[in-house]
Structure 1
Amino acid sequence: MLAKLHYSTKNSRFKFAALLALSSFAFGATISQQAYAQQALNSTVTLTPDVGGQPVTAYLPDSVTYNPNIPTPESVLGANIGEWHVRHDQVVNYMKVLAEKSDRITLEETGRTHENRPLLLLTITSPSNRKNIETLRKQHINAMESGDKVGSDAPLVFYMGYSIHGNEPSGTNASLALAYYLAAGEGKEIDALLDNNIVLFDPSFNPDGLSRFAQWANMHKGKQLVSDSRHREHDEGWPSGRTNHYWFDLNRDWLLLAHPESQARIKQFHKWRPHILTDFHEMGTDSTYFFQPGVRSRKNPLTPDENVTLTEALAQYHAAAFDEQGELYFTQEAFDDFYAGKGSTYPDLHGSIGILFEQASSRGHLQDSINGKLAFKDTIANQITTSLSTFRGALANKAAILDYQSGFVKSTQSLAKKDEHSGFVVGVSNDTGRFNAFIALLNQHHIRYEVLTENHEVNKVRYSAGQAIYISTNQPQYRLVKSIFSTQTSFENNTFYDVSTWNLALAFNLDYAPLDKGDARGLELGARDTLKQATLNSIQSDAYAYAFSWQHYYAPAMLQTLLEAGVKVRSSEKPFSAVQYNGKNIALQPGSIIIPKGLGQPENVASILKSVQQQLQVPVFSLRSGLTPTGNDLGSRSMKPVALPQVLIVGGEGTSEYEAGEMWHYFDTKVGLPASIVDQHNVARALSDPSVTYTHILFPSGRYHFSDSENEKIEDWVKAGGVVIGQKSALRYFAEHKWLDIEMVSQESIDNAFDDSELSYKDGASLYARKLVAGAVFEANIDKSHPLFYGYDDDTLPMFKTNNMIVEASNSPFVTPARYTDEPLMAGFSDNAMVALMAESTAVTTQKMGRGVVIGFTDNTQFRGYWYGTNKMLANAIYQSHFIR
């Protein structure tokens, strides 16, 4: 809306006179004359702001009356809903006010975000239920575990969750109105909902991202709303508010649990096991509104068909509500329900009905779209509409939903009995760090396991007593267990919105094997407390030297901690054995860290080592002598000094915030390395700063556009001894500027690998999907003697591939230490033509540049913060790169 000047033609002379009077003040006009003139102007000119937003009752049904003693959102916020983007602290404040004023609400802080914002869950039900809430919860959980049918008077449990993507804020803003509706509403409609059911209310899945985006949208809002899509308000800066503190997509973290927001949510999910869980999102501005069931063939194969049927029944109520309002919508297309780590799919594997809602986004307060001007308040209104229709649809289908959850338990038990596999055995290997992280994930998902108490061999792999677990498929979490060990490569529908596999054993690079019922009968099993932990050694203050193995996941963290404490260390280029203080020999592999006492160590070096060993659970060995029984002695020139690294991650516009965030997250939370994130337009300037000496530069995927002089600055820095590390699309830039001698397989070559002679126009989308690698596991042959693979035990490594980029480099073992195998696909979908192109292509490459080195990773070594198996490749690029020749 344009600013309006409200005055009539007959007042124009008066207005001109007032302006003249004001201007004459400098030439002797009296103060009274000026005041009169100002009053005249004020009385004739009015700027009408276009603020958007409306009172809460305008969003809610008029069939409900509201308790006047319950404060409205606008009375607490000081503005109507939709007038401004609400910040998370404002949401928290209003929810606390409601909990204080309403006898229907119990408010719980379930955790804190990375930025220390509280995660809230409101339990909303009638006062009589509230007094008996724990008994009701236990009755529900007992019914879920037993599969017994419940009476029609049993409560439905709703989990209403909003805005897991921070820049999709209509859900959280809608939650203000819905919380008020549940707290203050009076009448038959509210009584039917709250007298016999329980609503778990999560107003903001992603507080950090929501607050970041609210600041962006609000700081660019004027009194007149600008709908131009090119307006800065609608074009976020880097990083976007979609992600959390570390720039992760939290809607991909329901299974992986890399972040406190997800960990807190899953804990509450399993505490309650809701019947229905809602997941409110936004999509492109030119869209309308989407709600599930979506495409039936694109659901997870472990989700029962009855789940989709019930979702379809609920969808009738969403459609009816939008039909009444004349709103546009769609349902059975576009989105899938396959990846178990999404908010609408994880519940489906647990007998809940997860429902995805997607609203066209105003990405601000008002934006032009092909459907007209899209106002923020209208996006909020639609999320309120489908929240209420979820309640209406669920109550109308309550008997069927209650029956479904009990039937889900019985069908799960039946599937487990029929399964050819009775379970999976998983081994610890030489790294308890990775294994313990895997165990922690199983525990959070309530997956049961037992410990092997006798050695067992499967396919020539030995699983040692106390160092391996058995995960039976005969358990309530059967469907999730099958999902996290899936190696499926062919699917009914091969079009994926997200990744097509998430095999956790492969992600953690752990030995594992499925067992049939005959194999399982031979297992001797014990309780969880029989699992052996790493043996921590006594640190001898008068030892000649100390050492620890690089095999351990937290060895890089230990090294970083020691370097920061001023401890002088060496890393070994070759394997060797050493004599421990107790006289026993210890074999150590390349990359092992040595701390010789004779290097002028801090006086308290022994106590430092003792403390760090305890903290990180990395065994430290006290050595008696520098003379080694095998391999080079401790004073050998092959024992190279390790310096404290100074790492720069290239970020900013043009780079992938996800990958930059994953690098940051790994260094910050797994290694303890304080990496600098520098926008790409400042990189050359940073390298010129004499106050900071960077040792490594990391390039995540991105579009890079350095000037010739900036490129020259980076190249000079590498030639002087720096290390440049790039991954995925960054390698295109490396190849273009001859930083790496590699070739990228062209899109034309990929197109030529597919025969389209028998296809028709309608097959175009399907063909395009076949050329993608949306997320699959590929096996690579690795050279363990290469510094980038120090600490690895096997000759092969599962790598996660999320793009169809194919790199060809020299076959020299000095240049290409990792190639994909000749049959590389291990799990997930990838078309046979793409697999053939990937076979034996380059996975990792290195190249010297002067005294420095350039390293290229074809794939993301830190994918979503849970692909532990490849994390050490990046650590080696930081701490072992001095060995690359």
Structure 2
Amino acid sequence: MFKHRNQFPKYLGISRHLSALATCALLISSVIAVLGSQIAMAVESDLSYLPEGQNYDVNIPKPADVLGYPVGTWHVRHDQLINYMRALDEASDRVSIEVTGYTHEQRPLVLMTITSPSNKANIEQIRQAHIDRLAKGEAAGSEDPLVIYMGYSVHGNEPSGSNASLLVAYHLAASQSPEVEKLLSENVVLLDPSLNPDGLSRFAQWANMHKGYNLVTDPMHREHREHWPSGRTNHYWFDLNRDWLLLTHPESKARIHQFHQWRPHILTDFHEMGTDSTFFFQPGIPSRKNPWTPETNVTLTNALGQFHAQALDANKELYFTEESFDDFYYGKGSTYPDAHGSIGILFEQASSRGHAQESINGLVEFPRTIQNQVTTSLSTFAGALANKAAIAAYQKQFYNDTQKLIDDDDLHGFVIRATKDLTRFDRMLSILDAHQIRFRVLSDDAQLNDTEFTKGNSVYIALDQPQYRLIRSLFSERKRFVDNTFYDVSNWNIGLAFNLDYYAVKQSERRKIKTTDEAWNVESLRGEASKISSQAYAFAFEWHSANAPAMLQDLLEKGVQARVAGDGFSAKLIGNNSSSESVHSFAPGTVMVPVGLAQPDGLITMLEKAQQQFDVKVHSITSGLTPTGIDLGSRQFAPVLTPNVLMVGGVGTSQYDMGEIWHYLDTRVGLPATLVDLHNLDTLKLDRYSHIVFSSGRYNAVDKKTTDAIEAWVKAGGVLIGQKSAVSWFAKQGWIDNEVLSSEAVEQSFPVKGLQYKDRQDLASKKRIAGAVFTANIDLSHPLFFGYERDTLPMFKTSNLVLKTADDPFVEIANYVEKPLTAGYASDEMESLVSKTAAVVVKPMSEGAVIGFVDNIHFRGYWDGTNKLMANAIYMSPLL
């Protein structure tokens, strides 16, 4: 099974534990081997899934006692799952349950702690002692517990994991067998029964509503073909398994907090895959491991894998390993632990996507999928017990090896500077803080590589800290890799994502960096709030802050009449001291509220509350006559009205891309956008809407009547916005003048002469841009880039869409630089094709405009450097 068994090192006493490993394997085989023949569609009992001879405590309720039916009969909803786990908490002295947060839909996120009663009575002391050992780089002793974190179903339509969690929790709470009592007396099990409650409930409803008395196994049956959006995603249609590092959502924030509270030795991540697959467990493809993950991690994962293999062999289940999946992106559940000295393990079960479905391997039945997740949950415990000494010692070795990497590194740390958008910078720091990455504020200015990092306004992230590997990952600009095939993205550089100036400080330069013990204080940098004067001629706030769009939206909804500045100007201000007066320079894009227009009652109070809520300073201007630049009555001050935005989603569009747009407008801007299915677009009266947004999707089936209506709407003053493949569709309609590079032209850049069949995957990888950073030059004078400070912008590219230039600088307002690849992998051929092509186009069309973003400006809610382009496309559009 393991292709590198001959390279298996005798590390940390693994060889000493082979006899224990074999003994535990035989035990697991003996108790599980009988299960295969017992599981059928008509599940008679929850105990059918579990080993015999457990002497289960009759006072502990089985799942069926609370659900009303055995596990696997129906898909469990999240509320049912939580009700059962709370029943276990009530009945068992081994179990405690904690609410760690809430989802967007206000479902509770829970973490169960399952251990012996004596451990439970001292659980905080056990946790703290474990954390203290990690901090000192000490190995756990033989009497110290392992912490094993069991996480289930981060994808809601991969439900076998969460359904299995019911049985695993019951087994641990009720079994009085010697092996379970030993497991719990010597270790602590943390059980997260549902990593994605909103998605799980959505899918359970879908699967259950289509189940009849007679199961339909036809893959084309509606039960097996979810409608848009699928239950895989959370409330905003994000893939939560990509959010462990980015922390866009409450589910991830709560989970990462608990991870660092406990720092488990092992973390499992139970998934499902295609129905025609079998079962997968890690390790994944050896060459696709993150370079900052130690080889010992793979060694231990292999050791645990022997237990999964023996348990699945006993049930005669097909499985595979070291294939298909990788361990590169640190933002996934099975890889985030690897950056912390934990062992993350991915399990993938062929999915029934309902209750029963035909496959090339026979009938895939829901109970059978649950069985395999139960089986490998128990084999994880067995493997952990057999390898306990090696696993405990690994965290000490990880600490020591990390310190050696720090000592040998040519870099000392990274300095990063805030911009005028302190809100964006503060959010970046909050992500670092959540990952327990320490940073200090500069106490003196530092001149590095022609960039001045100013005291109090810049922070320093030293590499000499436990999170060294994660920091190196977060600031990586690596472009070439041992294996260029990526299951996910190849870069997630946080400095580039937030469009910030940063610099890698060499060991020889570290004396240039002076820091203070004082904490980062964003409020002191913003300064005191302005006193909003009733004597003002007008009020104004600038557009730099990420919160400025939300503040403008709030004021517009309250009836405030506002104008946006098409050019810069200076104005005399009323200071906080009534006798003081100053002159302030305002940048293009500044929002001005004229007092002389019909404004709602209580305008002063509205502005005061908005200034406090959004942390955007409001200035009181004394006169419409400005010392420099446009006057306040200039035609270049364009009225901005409350936008009415239409988002086109549904079947044929990307749920991920549209979810990211919705999430940004809803949670960051506070804009209530209308969502309509693509197939209903032809039924709408478009004149109701000011803006229409298309995400990536397939639009060739949209009929001419609808495209004619859209074009007429734009010409009448509408603003059409699209990204990725929507831009290609815009080009085909003639709504933009730029031509999309054809797939044939891309193919011609990759000659196949001399290649063999085995080279096909490598060739496909070269043609694919799966997630890398490309830099574009941007036109700061264009309204779409108002609020930006630098004339280059890192953009995240997730496709090989190339938009040719039409040599019109008034339309092509962002073009990729000559050598655009900045971080992550793209082949030389693809980088050459992207070089100097268009990244953002804005084409006026009569009274309206068409805006095209070649790439995803909201990537996973993390790419804050480009997030604001959507707000600019909406609120700055009157200037177009």
1:280 aligned to which of 258, 270, 276: 270
1:45-124 equivalence runs, <5 A: 52-124=42-114
1:624-773 equivalence runs, <5 A: 624-687=622-685, 693-704=688-699, 705-773=701-769
1:612-631 equivalence runs, <5 A: 612-631=610-629
Q: CA deviation at 1:296?
A: 1.5
Q: Distance in 1 between matches of 2:324 and 2:781?
A: 47
Q: Distance in 1 between matches of 2:859 and 2:565?
A: 29
Letter in 2 for 1:525: T
* 8 Å CA contact 2:406, 2:464 repeated in 1: yes
1:773-784 equivalence runs, <5 A: 773-784=769-780
Q: Distance in 2 between matches of 1:854 and 1:494?
A: 36
Give the match's secondary structure for 1:186.
coil
Deviation readout 1:590-647 (Å, 9 max, x if unpaired): 1111111111222321211111111111111111111111101111111111111000
TM-score by length of 1: 0.93
Structure 1: state its 5+ residue gaps.
1-49
Q: Distance in 1 between matches of 2:243 and 2:199?
A: 15
Give the match's secondary structure for 2:705.
helix
2:568 aligned to which of 575, 592, 599: 575
Structure 2 partner of 1:310: 300
* 8 Å CA contact 1:687, 1:717 repeated in 2: no
Give the match's secondary structure for 2:684.
helix
Give the match's secondary structure for 1:577.
strand
Q: Distance in 2 between matches of 1:320 and 1:298?
A: 26
Q: CA deviation at 1:51?
A: 5.8
Structure 2 partner of 1:584: 582
CA RMSD for the aligned pairs?
Answer: 1.1
Structure 2 partner of 1:499: 489
Structure 2 partner of 1:541: 534
Q: Distance in 2 between matches of 1:163 and 1:706?
A: 36
Q: Distance in 2 between matches of 1:53 and 1:382?
A: 15
Letter in 1 for 2:588: P
Q: Distance in 2 between matches of 1:450 and 1:846?
A: 41
2:455 aligned to which of 443, 465, 475: 465
1:195 aligns to 2:188 (yes or no): no
Q: Please say which structure displays the higher CA radius of gyration.
A: 1
* 8 Å CA contact 1:54, 1:81 repeated in 2: no
Letter in 1 for 2:617: P
2:558 aligned to which of 552, 565, 576: 565
Structure 1 partner of 2:854: 858
More off after superposition, 91-100 vs 725-734: 725-734
Q: CA deviation at 1:796?
A: 0.3
Structure 1 partner of 2:793: 797
1:454 aligns to 2:450 (yes or no): no
* 8 Å CA contact 2:696, 2:723 repeated in 1: yes
* 8 Å CA contact 2:281, 2:346 repeated in 1: yes
Aligned length: 832
Letter in 1 for 2:867: N
* 8 Å CA contact 2:41, 2:367 repeated in 1: no
Quote the sequence identity (%).
56
Deviation readout 1:856-880 (Å, 9 max, x if unpaired): 1000111100100001111111011
1:391 aligned to which of 381, 391, 395: 381
Q: Distance in 1 between matches of 2:284 and 2:435?
A: 26
* 8 Å CA contact 1:809, 1:845 repeated in 2: no
Give the match's secondary structure for 1:743.
coil
Q: CA deviation at 1:294?
A: 1.2
Deviation readout 1:739-785 (Å, 9 max, x if unpaired): 22221111221111123223211000111011100000000000011
Q: CA deviation at 1:544?
A: 1.1
Letter in 1 for 2:822: M
Deviation readout 1:420-454 (Å, 9 max, x if unpaired): 11100010111101001001111111000000011
Q: Distance in 1 between matches of 2:611 and 2:499?
A: 23
Give the match's secondary structure for 1:726.
strand
Structure 2: state its 5+ residue gaps.
1-39, 576-580
1:340-489 equivalence runs, <5 A: 340-489=330-479
Give the match's secondary structure for 1:808.
coil
More off after superposition, 803-812 vs 654-663: 803-812
TM-score by length of 2: 0.94
Letter in 1 for 2:739: E
Give the match's secondary structure for 1:354.
strand
Structure 2 partner of 1:34: none
Deviation readout 1:276-328 (Å, 9 max, x if unpaired): 00000000000000000111211111000000000000000000111111100
Letter in 1 for 2:105: E
Q: Distance in 1 between matches of 2:846 and 2:140?
A: 74
Q: CA deviation at 1:530?
A: 5.0
Q: CA deviation at 1:810?
A: 1.6
Letter in 2 for 1:586: H
* 8 Å CA contact 1:52, 1:376 repeated in 2: no
Q: Distance in 1 between matches of 2:103 and 2:841?
A: 37
* 8 Å CA contact 2:151, 2:191 repeated in 1: yes
* 8 Å CA contact 1:779, 1:798 repeated in 2: yes
Deviation readout 1:445-470 (Å, 9 max, x if unpaired): 10000000111111111111111000
Q: Distance in 2 between matches of 1:249 and 1:445?
A: 20
Give the match's secondary structure for 1:547.
strand
More off after superposition, 56-65 vs 98-107: 56-65
Letter in 2 for 1:559: L
Structure 1 partner of 2:283: 293
Q: CA deviation at 1:528?
A: 4.6
Q: Distance in 1 between matches of 2:520 and 2:804?
A: 48
1:872 aligns to 2:862 (yes or no): no
Give the match's secondary structure for 2:790.
coil
Q: Distance in 1 between matches of 2:44 and 2:637?
A: 70
Give the match's secondary structure for 2:599.
coil
Deviation readout 1:349-380 (Å, 9 max, x if unpaired): 00000000000000000000000010000000
1:321 aligns to 2:316 (yes or no): no
Q: CA deviation at 1:713?
A: 1.6
